[in-house]
Copies of this chain bind each other. A is one copy, B any other.
């Protein structure tokens, strides 16, 4: 059984590995976890001793299969609890993350398998992120950022990259949620801004918005 701190480090490193593809640096981990590099060094040495990641001084960290499995398990729990909060307790998708940060550390195989079943074995969390199965495998789907679409292309919103409250509330205001169809009416190459159509509404969005919305194109 791993401690709360260990689980959080593994989770952060797992996410950073996805994003950066390769060794994860001490500073990157410190940034992500809002902690100091010296603390990170201590912890990755400890995790290396436990064979949860491989680490050579000054060379960054890489999860071992075991470390990856632990991390995926924590992420699985986080996302299942988020589904629970939204689907069963009627929470809004911008309110669930902080609570799931706590719930993800409850240790019980049986609890999580029963919860999974209770929720109907969902594949995605309320933000469109895939839920790892009990072995830690994730069903990766084809998705791109809205910002990658060109004029006249269509996409269906399948997820968000950021899930800050501010961003999610912006999306709500614009009536964009998972499953919403989006048509790119125009794209400005100078600043990456777009004009899009959502339902009957047409409006302007900044590059920053377009870079944080995942869409699927068929």
Contacts and interface: CB of A to CB of B under 8 A. Distances in A.
B99 A85 contact: no
Interface residues of A, number: 19
B111 A99 contact: yes
* Copies of this protein chain in the complex: 2
A118 B88 contact: yes
A115 B99 contact: no
Nearest to A108: B99
A90 interface: yes
Interface string A90-110: 110001001100110111101
A5 interface: no
Contact of A115 (B89, B107, B115): B89
Contacts of A139: none
Contacts of A110: 91, 95
